[in-house]
Each structure stands twice: as structure tokens, then as C-alpha cells.
Amino acid sequence: MVPKGIIRFDYGSTHAWRVNISRDKAKFVEYFYDGPSGSIENGLRRAILFRHEILSAFPVTVEVHYKRALDPNPENRISRHVEPGKLSQYVYWRATWHDSEYKRKTRNFSVAKLGEEQARRQALEAATENHNPIPKRHVLPDAHATESWKSMLRSEVERVASLNDYGARRNDTDSAVDESYPFGYEGLRRALLHMSIERDRALRNKKVSQFLALHGKLFCELCGMNFRERYPFLKKDIIEVHHTLPLAQLTSATIIQADELMLLCSNCHTAVHQGDAIENLALARAQFVSAVEA
């Protein structure tokens, strides 16, 4: 039985229980791995204990204003109205306020009986004197106030935890290649819970290795930024690999060469993919070329 806020996380070589708890405006996320925990069961026990400690130590305390609170200014809670009558129009000033239980109350003051100025003045007095000026507040709901559990088959958890150990099949390559950002694509589509596009890490590594051999370091081919120069505290270099031919146009039979890939920083890569990637790449190249010439 797994409580709310804990999910099973089996991806690649990572096999753990993931705790994700929000308390007020803070979020607590922690992984409890099968290996260091000694077993899947012990990992879940540690995750439940961590979750319990967070819920006990950090109750929900954030309060918000009542959404339908009236304007505190009484001038904005009076209004003049004209309604048709049997013999003549009914003209009045209306005062609106909240009583002690935050129920909306109104009272009308006739212009025919009191006169324009007197009706307005009495409406303003009523809106001022009767109004409860303390804003109604309520505490944000606690998603964990009511405990709920979901059942997971032990056999299914153990089966999934034995899969996807990609780390066991990974070959050692150039250390600079391995330490750069692992971002590679290819075109094979495979039906999972959704359609995903296979990415060939070997091709991506080949591109990075060729670039290192030619330039001696990794940098963005658009803006020229090198992460380790920009951020000297980095122990590993970072780069992303971009397909000049969009992934959506690839099929399982598409052959991609390393020269059809570009090395981009995360900023340029994100910008290029905001819309038409081919058009954006051409515009970005023109912009950076003109900036260099200027």
C-alpha cells in the first residue's frame, strides 16, 4: 500500500520511490533508492517515514482572502438605480455591505422621499456603519488532510525494477563526450504510453567527438558560448545536440550523418524550437553573423 505523494520511479538505471510533497509554497522532493535502502520494501518504508515527518513538521498555514470580498471603500459600495414604476420611475440609492457572518446585505434609500443628497448620504452611512471591515479568510486546502492509499502488486514493482538498466549496456567513450550534456535524437518511433522518437546516443557522441577534435572545446555554434568559460565552477562541460532536419520528418529508415547535427547552448536550442525550427535556425544564423560583422 502506497500513500498519496509517493510514486514508483523506474527509469534507466534509477530504481527508487519518489516523494513529492507540497506544503504551503514549499515543495519537498526526495528519492529513496532500492540499492542503498537494501530492498524495495525498505525504500518504501523510508519514503513513508520521510513523508510523515514532512507532513508533521510543516502544516498548511497559508491563508487567502475570500474571493467575493466587497470593496473596503464605502464609496464603492453605494450605487444609484433607476427602475420603471406604475406611475413614475423609482429612483433610489443602494448601500451594500457584509454582515458579521459575511453575508451580503443591501438597503435602498428613495430619492423621492429623501431627496437626492439625503438618499445618497444615508446610503453612504449605512454602507460605512454596517459593513464588517475584516476580510474573510480561509486556509488553503491540504491535499493530505484525508489520507488515501493505492495498492501496488509487489511482483509488478519487482518486475519493473529489473528493467531499463541502460547503464549496464553503456560503453566507455571519450570522457569529454560522456561529461557533456547527453542530448541525441534519431527517428525511430516506438509505441509506449505515448509516441516517442528514438535517439541514437552513439551518433550524438560521434558529433561531439568530431567537434572536440576540430576545435578542442565545446561551444554553441550560434552564439559561441562555452559553458565552462561562462561558469568557471562547472566540473563538466555542457552542450546540446540539435537536428537541422526536424525530428518530426524522420522515419525509422532515415540515415542521419554527424554533419547534420549542430551543437547549441540550451538558450539557443530552446529559442530555435519556439515555432518553425528550420526558419528560426536560419534567422538565428543571420542574426549572429550580422552581430559579428557589426
% pLDDT > 90, the chain = 28
Rounded Cα–Cα distance for residues 127 and 185 (Å): 66
105 in Cβ contact with 97 (< 8 Å): yes
Amino acid 93 reads W
pLDDT of the residue at 116? 94
- pLDDT of 86 reads 80
- Round the average pLDDT of the chain to a whole number and report it: 80
Q: What sign does the CA torsion over 282, 286, 291, 292 have?
A: positive
What is the per-residue pLDDT across 87-125, written as a single tens digit (0 to 9) for each?
889 999 999 999 988 889 999 999 999 999 999 999 999
CA–CA distance from 70 to each of 66, 138, 215 (Å)? 9, 16, 66
Is the pLDDT assigned to residue 203 strictly greater than 80?
no
At 42, which helix (H) or strand (E)? helix 40-57
Cα(189)–Cα(251) distance, integer angstroms? 7
The whole-model pTM stands at: 0.37
pLDDT digits (tens, 9 = 90+) for 24-45: 778 899 999 988 888 898 999 9
User: What are the pLDDT digits (tens) for 159-170?
Assistant: 888 875 544 443
DSSP 69: P
